[in-house]
């Protein structure tokens, strides 16, 4: 059974969800889970830069979708349902050259067939880097 919050959930996600995925490639890891919110971090370095030496918007979008999709999985029975992202909208507001960014997914709507998430991406100084909305569909297996 998947733990619902706290360090046990973080440990579970980092051990069972990330391996052999894009999240491994981007060095994304989960760092906080509480009160229907899930937070992941990603280092900003040359692996996620665009040619101008800044954080690539696609890497930011991958972080946002990763945390929002994983958060949706926590609201469904994994034996009966699967979650798929169907729309991601993201505004890139501030550039970043190095350090860490954090994406926190908060539910706007958790319905039977759709989930809508607000994902706020900030840096170590809590400066807003990007803002995203993710819609997930819940499908029967």
pTM of the model: 0.95
Residue 136 inside a domain? The answer is yes
3-state secondary structure of 6: helix
Cα–Cα–Cα angle for 10, 122, 131, nearest 5°? Answer: 100
Which burial class, exposed, middle or buried, applies to 59 when counting CB atoms under 10 A from its CB (0-12, 13-18, 19+)?
buried
For the segment 96-120, the average pLDDT, to the nearest whole number, is 98
Rg of the chain on CA atoms, in Å = 15
- Statement: residue 5 has pLDDT above 90: no
Mean pLDDT of all residues in 107-114: 97
The answer to whether residue 57 sits within a structural domain is yes
Residue 55 within any structural domain of the chain: yes
Determine whether 87 is an active site residue. Answer: no
For residue 107, being part of any structural domain is answered with yes
Where are any strands of DSSP class E within the chain? Answer: 29-34, 37-44, 81-92, 99-110, 114-123, 128-140
Share of the chain above pLDDT 70, in %: 99
- Per the CB < 8 A criterion, the answer to whether 113 and 136 are in contact is no
The 10s digit of each residue's pLDDT in 9-51 is 999 999 989 989 999 999 999 999 988 899 999 999 999 999 9
- Within-domain flag for 121: yes
**Position 108 in a domain:** yes
Average pLDDT over residues 45-64: 98
DSSP state at residue 80: T
Total number of domains in the chain? 1
Which residue among 8, 37, 65, 124 is the active-site one?
65
State yes or no: pLDDT of 1 exceeds 70: no
Kindly report the backbone phi and psi dihedral angles of residue 64, in degrees, each rounded to the nearest multiple of 5, phi listed first. -60, -50
Q: Is residue 1 included in any domain, yes or no? A: no
pLDDT at residue 6, rounded to an integer? 87
Residue 11's CATH number: 3.10.129.10
Separation between Cα atoms, residue 92 and residue 18, nearest integer Å:
25
Domain assignment of residue 111, given as a range: 6-140
């Amino acid at each position: 059974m998947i733990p619902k919050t706290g360090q046990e959930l973080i440990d579970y996600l980092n051990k069972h969800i990330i391996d052999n995925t894009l999240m491994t490639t981007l060095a994304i890891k989960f760092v906080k889970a509480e009160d229907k919110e899930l937070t992941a971090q990603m280092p900003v370095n040359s692996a996620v830069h665009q040619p101008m030496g800044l954080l690539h918007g696609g890497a930011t979008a991958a972080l946002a979708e990763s945390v929002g999709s994983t958060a949706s999985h926590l609201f469904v029975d994994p034996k009966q349902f699967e979650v798929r992202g169907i729309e991601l909208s993201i505004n890139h507001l501030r550039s970043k050259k190095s350090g860490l960014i954090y994406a926190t997914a908060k539910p706007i709507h958790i319905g039977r067939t759709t989930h809508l998430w607000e994902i706020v991406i900030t840096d170590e100084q809590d400066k807003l880097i990007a803002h995203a909305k993710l819609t997930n569909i819940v499908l029967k297996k």
